[in-house]
């Protein structure tokens, strides 16, 4: 049975971390909100899954993954579930917990990226909080972005292999690829200035992008382009 992914149809957002894992593994899945409404799919079907039903509890927000009767919310939780099933996580529990910890750290990082353009309220437009966003982004570029890049560089260098957790690719490497790709879109000038300091991270990004299944996905229509509706947004005034 195919996995069912419930996420917004026009943005990469948090759902993209799950798509990358499914695509790398060659898993069969349906991206529900991007399917035709006339066939009982689409945005209405995605919203309905948040209400829960007789066999599952309601999720707070997408992404949600359904695997038969199992319904799971929260990106990191979904990847923890998929990791062993897709062969994208260590076999030993200590390794899976370490990978989960890294994914949670990336979730924190992703929130900080979002807050560069919405530092005051998610219920206000960017234009209504532009001045605050400029201040937040300046601090992010100067202090927070290098701190996260330093951390994941150290994790990669301390690994006993070419990936974050040893010699085998995991969903953490796919997620780090997505973080770097998104940052290069949102902050091209800042990332270009920082790039010479982080060759190991950029090499990992390129290595993931070149993997056959990922390369095909990136060229396909299934890969939604970065845009100014998602988490990674490019506003030149925030790049500095």
Residue 110: pLDDT band with limits 50, 70, 90: very high
pLDDT, tens digit (0-9, with 9 covering 90-100), for 148-193: 999 999 999 999 889 999 999 999 999 999 999 999 999 999 999 9
Q: What is the mean pLDDT of the chain?
A: 94
Residue 115 has pLDDT above 70, yes or no: yes
Query: Is-above-0.75 flag for pTM?
Result: yes
**pLDDT at residue 52, rounded to an integer:** 59
- Count Cβ atoms below 10 Å from residue 13 Cβ, excluding itself: 19
Q: What average pLDDT does the segment 31-49 reach?
A: 85
Lowest average pLDDT, out of 67-71, 154-158, 178-182, 215-219, goes to 67-71
Write phi, then psi, for 219 (nearest 5 degrees): -85, -15
Residue 85 has pLDDT above 90, yes or no: yes
Residue 58: pLDDT band with limits 50, 70, 90: confident
Residue 54: pLDDT band with limits 50, 70, 90: very low
Give the rounded percent of residues in the chain with a pLDDT score beyond 70. 98
Residue 128 has pLDDT above 80, yes or no: yes
Residue 48 has pLDDT above 80, yes or no: yes
Residue 37 has pLDDT above 90, yes or no: no
Q: What average pLDDT does the segment 206-227 reach?
A: 98
Residue 142: pLDDT band with limits 50, 70, 90: very high
**pLDDT at residue 59, rounded to an integer:** 84
Of 41 and 2, the one with more pLDDT? 2
Q: What average pLDDT does the segment 92-112 reach?
A: 98
DSSP calls for the chain: --EEEE--SS--TTHHHHHHHHHHHT--EEEGGGS-GGGT-HHHHHHHHTT-BTTBPPPSSS-EEEETTEEEESHHHHHHHHHHHTT-S-SSHHHHHHHHHHHHHHHHHHHHHHHHH-SS-TTS-GGGGHHHHHHHHHHIIIIIHHHHHHHHHHHHHHSSSSBTTBTS--HHHHHHHHHHHHHHHH-HHHHHHHGGG-HHHHHHHHHHHTSHHHHHHHHSTTSPPP-TTSSS---HHHH-
């Amino acid at each position: 049975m195919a996995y069912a992914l419930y996420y917004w149809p026009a943005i990469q957002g948090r759902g993209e971390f799950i798509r990358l894992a499914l695509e790398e593994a060659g898993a069969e899945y349906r991206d529900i909100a991007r399917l035709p409404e006339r066939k009982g799919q689409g945005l209405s079907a995605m919203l309905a899954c948040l209400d829960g039903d007789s066999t599952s509890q309601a999720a707070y927000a997408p992404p949600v993954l359904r695997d038969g009767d199992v319904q799971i919310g929260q990106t990191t939780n979904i990847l923890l579930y998929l990791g062993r099933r897709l062969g994208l996580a260590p076999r030993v529990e200590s390794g899976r917990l370490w990978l989960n910890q890294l994914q949670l750290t990336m979730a924190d990082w992703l929130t900080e990226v979002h807050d560069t353009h919405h530092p005051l309220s998610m219920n206000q437009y960017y234009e209504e909080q532009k001045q605050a966003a400029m201040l937040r982004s300046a601090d992010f570029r100067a202090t927070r972005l290098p701190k996260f890049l330093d951390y994941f560089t150290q994790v990669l260098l301390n690994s006993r292999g070419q990936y974050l957790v040893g010699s085998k690719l995991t969903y953490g490497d796919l997620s780090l690829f997505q973080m770097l790709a998104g940052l290069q879109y949102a902050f091209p000038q800042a990332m270009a200035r920082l790039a010479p300091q982080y060759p190991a991270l950029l090499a990992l990004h390129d290595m993931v992008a070149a993997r056959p299944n990922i390369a095909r996905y990136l060229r396909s229509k299934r890969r939604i382009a970065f845009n100014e509706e998602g988490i990674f947004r490019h506003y030149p005034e925030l790049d500095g």
